[in-house]
Chain A
Amino acid sequence: MTETRISRRFAECAAAGRPALVTFVMAGDPDLETSLAVAKTLAASGADVIELGMPFSDPMADGPAIQAAGQRALKGGQTMARTLDLVRRFRESDATTPIVLMGYYNPIYVRGSEAFVAEAKDAGVDGLIIVDLPPEADDELCLPALGAGLNFIRLATPTTDDRRLPAVLANTSGFVYYVSITGITGSAAPDATKVAEAVGRIKRHTGLPVAVGFGVRDAATAREIGRNADGVVVGSALVAAIAASLDADGRATAKTVPAIGTLVADLASGVRAARLAAE
């Protein structure tokens, strides 16, 4: 695949001798305007890649924090059209920060895969992570997405053994997302030694950058994981920070956007120190 915003960003981070900070928030949490302000703040505070969750009623791979974020977004009226609109508006002021949409297949399937990838590309989306589409289902969305010039980022997990890894990597592009634990998002902290081994194993099979997520919630963990990984993904901790900033009725407050800015700046300092610690 040709160069994309994602490949350029990972290359820049590698040249700077540090892992990329990949941040996840739910699109429309708790409302569209706040969510746009959050996305801009992520980019301004040190996030290298932004993953936007596409809310779904039945997020089977997510823990309580991201489940609740999706519910808040849906309650706030978020739809796929609004999520694409959010990306379009973000792109008006930011032409370089990669945006990856992450979620489940059904809201895409009902729109039609071909129509969806065209709309997403047009809005300024760079890649997709779809949790419930394994490589066995590549004809559903992965191939149309690649055809439209979007990266299709696959999850590799501790259960993905060497036999299976080539199939998982075959149509993966942009980066590989290594899920550091068997479990749902926001679970226990990963074991850094095991993660380093797994990252090494994946890198023997691919030249793509490997980002590690699930269970990374603070700068210290980000720094430790970032010693070996090309990227560190933080999601539940950010989403929980949004939740903590809301008022009793679940609405955004003056604290919401600054809370994200503070946390991301801290995480960014963690990944920037990652390789220093290794020396």
Chain B
Amino acid sequence: MLNLIQADLFKLRKSMAIKILFSITTISALAMTVLAYLLEQGQIDAGMTGIGFMFSDVNMVSILGAVLAGVFICGDFDNKTIHDAISSGSSRGTVIVSKVIVFFCGIGFILLPYAVVTGIALWTGFGFNMGAVSVGFLNNLTQASTAAFQASNLLKFLLIALVLIIVYASQLSVCVPLAFILKKPVLVVPIYYVISLLGGQLSLLAASSPGFNRVFSLTPFGGHYSFLDLNAQTADIFKAILVSLIFIIIMLAITYVAFRKAEIK
């Protein structure tokens, strides 16, 4: 498996797509932060929050993460890298796990600008605001602006950033069975985007239905896991990690069942 992971990391390093995605998230992270700052300062209209949300991590990752799955997993069906791995003796389970590990590394990489920019922004002590649309790192910016960011918070922020990346990775793990089954990026990207939009709508439903909320909290889309901030309790962080990891394992199991005896064309 290590060989496959190393090979995929080499491929990721040589990939133009990952560089483009990283550039987009870097620019978006900066744009999100600047807009949140200007909004807090009252220099732009409150109606600009929609634009701010467009640049936010939760929106970007739901598109670009699926694009990454499309390029990285579906692309390997086109390039026959997966064929070669199997015909040269790798098990299908190994192929899936190695792909998922490197896919998650890629997600972590493209989310890195949001973590760094948010961390730096908080360090400055300036105020930020994006109103009700704040989720993920954008939520951290907004929430922390109400209290001064202290050096002692740095470690906790790093932990929160890591957990948020895990939560996003878990949400995006839905793309793994989609990519292995459909094998077409043109299908994976829109389907996942619809799923992420649906996740947002179901959150509203969960807010009004405690029964549904309990069920929805068992997925990384629910349970306010994307709203973790510096005020989060240890139990919340632990639960977010646990739910995310279990969800990833379920997605891996679904992928394995679907791919174990599939024809690879």
Say whether A and B bind each other. Answer: no
Binding site for A on B (CB under 8 A): none
